[in-house]
Amino acid sequence: METVFTEFLLSDDDSDNDCDSESTVIFGAVLQTFLQRESRVRIDNYISDVVAQFTAVEFRRIYRISVDCFQHLCQLLSTCPEMSVRSPQFGGRGRISLEKTVLIALRYLGHQENVRIISNIFDVADSSVIVSRDRTDLYDGPRVLLKKNDVVRKFREKRGFPGIVGCIDGTHIHIKPPTEHPQSYVNRKSFHSVILQAVCLQDMKISNCFAGFPGSVHDSRVLRQSDLWDEANMACGQNHILGDGAYPIKTWLMTPYRNTGNLTQIQKRYNAAHSATRSIIERVFAMLKGRFRRLRYIEVQQIKTVNEIIITCCVLHNISILDGDAALDMMDDDEEDNIQQNAVNNLQGPDQQGILKRDQIAANLQ
């Protein structure tokens, strides 16, 4: 588990809205290849002749992050030993430049194009696409610095709910059936997946993420196996995270009252404020999958690689927001993040202190 055109154009539904100049170049390369009866389509000087001519809007449409964010990302990665360019004195083909490596990785993460298409576009071997993706692994990337008082205040401004330092939920990432124990990865909607558990802030950044449990596992079990379970009580202090009814109530984890038809008006008001506030995590997942479309379906064999791709997308999501690009226009409106699960608030016995805290919050909500 890990914590933190047709075929020649983009395979996504909105590909027709992407860069016309790129489409023209790719189509020309396809036509030339057809006429010359070559076996593969390759685009010479794609970065210098095509990418360099993109407007900021065109660049963002294709590579899913802004130009400023791309430059920031290259700067962050420039200190990584894996990104150093091999000197010609060692012989062999020189290592792909940092900028090209990052562009290849972003192209891979941002779309559902297969590796062959990406390698053709950048005029590299298929294996170089995989290497570029792995070299841009941001599992150990920059973390969100939590300014707790600011977070609590901004969450409270939304619906008056006090003490919130984050909202938690899980989402399913569709994957290729793994070779080992594939059936355990089949979720309630009958497709293979791994679960991404994330906690988000009021500005939609992800403050904690944990990926890799099979899709058949309940959200509450994922939480109990994550580092958050052991660390949250101390990290939250007197504050708390909001979670839905799939999670157990704790002093640091506020869940809704279970509706059995006899809720009081105070409890209904609490549930309404809780739901309206917590819904931000669902929008975060929609934004994450809308920006990085590889998360719609990850077709790799190793679960470890799947987890690294997921965490890298989460870190890129945060970097983009920090650089002022929240990608509200990229949200995946068709995303069905939540696979409903039975409420488990009383699993392993109720937390009486958590219940008391919830009742006090409910009584004081206006």
* Predicted local confidence at residue 164, as pLDDT: 97
Tell me if 127 is assigned to some domain: yes
Segment 7-27 mean pLDDT: 48
Among 16, 19, 15, CA closest to 49: 19
- Are 275 and 335 part of one and the same domain? yes
Confidence (pLDDT) at 215: 96
* Percent of the chain at pLDDT exceeding 90: 69
Question: Does residue 253 lie in a domain region?
Answer: yes
Number of domains in the chain: 2
Domain co-membership, 126 together with 152? no
pLDDT band at 45 (very low <50, low <70, confident <90, very high): confident
pLDDT at 5: 27
Q: Are residues 221 and 325 in the same domain?
A: yes
Residues 253, 354, single domain; the answer is: yes
pLDDT beyond 70 at 150 = yes
For the cut 80, the answer to whether the pLDDT of residue 24 exceeds it is no
Same-domain status, 116 and 211? no
Q: For residues 19 and 61, is the Cβ–Cβ distance under 8 A?
A: yes
Mean pLDDT of 167-194: 95
Give domain status of residue 339, yes or no. yes
What pLDDT was estimated at residue 111?
96
Residue 228 in this model has a pLDDT that exceeds 60: yes
Find how far residue 15's CA is from the centre of its chain.
21
Residues 248 and 275 in one domain: yes
Contacts of 247 (CB under 8 A, 6+ apart): 168, 219, 220, 223, 253, 255, 344, 345
Tokens of 328: 């509200």
Residues 234 and 353 in one domain: yes
> Encoding tokens for residue 363?
């009584």
* pLDDT at residue number 20: 59
Binned at pLDDT 50, 70 and 90, residue 10 comes out as: very low
120 in a structural domain: yes
pLDDT of 300 reads: 94
pLDDT surpassing 80 at residue 299: yes
- Beta strands 206-214 and 193-200 are antiparallel
pLDDT tens-place string over residues 173-186: 999 999 989 999 99
User: Residue 139: inside a domain, yes or no?
Assistant: no
Residue range 298-316: average pLDDT? Answer: 94
What was the pLDDT predicted at 137? Answer: 79
Percent of the chain with pLDDT over 70: 78
Are 284 and 345 in a shared domain? Answer: yes
The answer to whether residue 36 is domain-embedded is: no
Beta strands 240-242 and 164-174 are parallel
Burial of 123 (0-12, 13-18, 19+ CB in 10 A): middle
- Say what the pLDDT of residue 8 is: 27
Region 17-25 average pLDDT: 58
Q: Is 225 within a domain?
A: yes
Task: Please give the model's pTM, rounded to 2 decimal places.
Answer: 0.84
* DSSP letters spanning 162-214: TTEEEEEEEEEEEBPPPSSSGGGGB-TTSSBEEEEEEEE-TTS-EEEEEEEEE
**Angstrom distance (rounded) from CA 304 to CA 25:** 36
Closest CA relative to residue 239, chosen from 276, 199, 206: 199
328: in domain:
yes
Helix axes 98-110, 126-135, angle to 10 degrees: 90
Q: pLDDT averaged over the chain?
A: 85
Of 22-26, 58-62, 153-157, 242-246, the poorest mean pLDDT is in: 22-26
Task: Note the pLDDT tens digit of each residue in 98-117.
Answer: 999 999 999 999 999 999 99
For residue 16, pLDDT over 70 is answered with no
37: which 2 tokens?
A: 């009866």
Mean pLDDT of 271-282: 96
Task: Using the predicted structure, report yes or no on whether residue 54 has a pLDDT greater than 80.
Answer: yes
Q: Which of 15-24, 48-57, 101-110, 128-137 has the lowest mean pLDDT?
A: 15-24
What value does the mean pLDDT take over residues 141-164? 83
Q: Is the pLDDT of residue 233 over 60?
A: yes
pLDDT band for position 29 (cuts 50, 70, 90): low
The range of the structural domain enclosing residue 74 comes to 46-82+95-134
